[in-house]
Structures are given as structure tokens and as C-alpha cells.
């Protein structure tokens, strides 16, 4: 993002790669993935104007182990200096289909939770208000 001047962007919206072995993912360790996100989000902080907004759409991943990516991102953003404004829970259950979350047909030997939501995390830089022009 070198070509973008610092303090020039008013809104950033992203849905970062989930690092879950997709063709475009590098299959990083969780720590390496978090460090990659930290570098990008720090750069985003530098590019935003005071009061600029950053919105991140993210879902949690995995089961063994479960990885709460939204919690990692919230921690990163606060460590960088962002102020958390809130979160939107995007309920995607209407399009999730009717598959059973209980394992084998009519057998609850290994019930699992189905993720039918994602988070939209909303932050601002340095202040909760924006300057009016």
C-alpha cells in the first residue's frame, strides 16, 4: 500500500483470507497468520484518517481445534490502537440448508455446532467521531 498516502483513507472494508488451505492461502501456522494480519492492519491504521473506519468481515474456523478468528482480530486491532465501535453478527442461517449437525443419521454420538454466522467487526482510528468538512 506504499502508493496510498498516510492519513488519506476514510473507510476500509475487508474479508481477509481464512488460512484454511484454500488455493490462495499459504497454509501458515496460526501465529504466522496472525502476524501477517497484524502487518496489514497496522498499514491500514497508517492509511486511515483520524476517525476513519475499518470494517472486517470474518468467520471463525476449525473444530479440532476451534479457532475464534474474530477474537484474535479484535485483540490485534486494539493492540494496534484502533477503537472498537461494535460488531454486527451476520446470521446466514436462512441460506445454510437443512443438513444435520448431529453426525450420523439419528445418532448423536458426535454432535457438532454449525457455524451459521459471521462477524463484521467495526473499528475507528484514534477517535469515535469524524471531522466534518
24: left (phi over 0), alpha (psi -120 to 50) or beta: alpha
Number of domains in the chain: 1
- 130 within some domain: no
- 69 within some domain: yes
- 32 within some domain: yes
- 1 within some domain: no
Q: Given pLDDT bands bounded at 50, 70 and 90, which one contains residue 129?
A: confident
Cβ proximity of 50 and 128 under 8 Å:
no
Q: Provide the pLDDT for residue 13.
A: 96
Read off the pLDDT of each residue in 37-52 and give the average, rounded to a whole number: 95
- 3 within some domain: no
- 113 within some domain: yes
Residue 22, Cβ density class (10 Å: 0-12 exposed, 13-18 middle, ≥19 buried): exposed
Q: Given pLDDT bands bounded at 50, 70 and 90, which one contains residue 26?
A: low
Residue 86 has pLDDT above 70, yes or no: yes
pTM to 2 decimals? 0.81
Structural domain of 96: 9-125
- 33 within some domain: yes
The grid coordinates of residue 41 equal 492492519
- 133 within some domain: no
Q: Return the CATH number at 109.
A: 3.40.50.150
Amino acid at each position: 500500500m506504499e502508493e496510498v498516502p498516510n492519513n488519506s483513507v476514510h473507510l476500509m472494508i475487508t474479508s481477509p483470507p481464512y488460512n484454511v488451505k484454500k488455493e490462495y492461502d499459504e497454509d501458515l501456522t496460526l501465529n504466522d497468520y496472525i502476524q501477517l494480519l497484524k502487518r496489514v492492519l497496522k498499514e491500514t491504521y497508517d492509511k486511515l484518517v483520524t476517525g476513519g473506519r475499518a470494517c472486517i468481515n470474518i468467520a471463525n474456523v476449525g473444530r479440532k481445534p476451534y479457532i475464534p478468528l474474530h477474537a484474535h482480530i479484535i485483540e490485534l486491532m486494539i493492540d494496534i490502537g484502533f477503537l472498537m465501535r461494535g460488531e454486527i453478527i451476520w446470521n446466514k442461517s436462512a441460506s445454510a440448508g437443512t443438513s444435520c449437525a448431529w453426525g450420523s443419521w439419528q445418532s448423536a454420538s458426535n454432535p457438532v455446532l454449525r457455524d451459521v454466522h459471521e462477524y463484521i467487526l467495526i473499528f475507528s482510528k484514534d477517535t469515535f467521531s469524524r471531522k466534518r468538512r
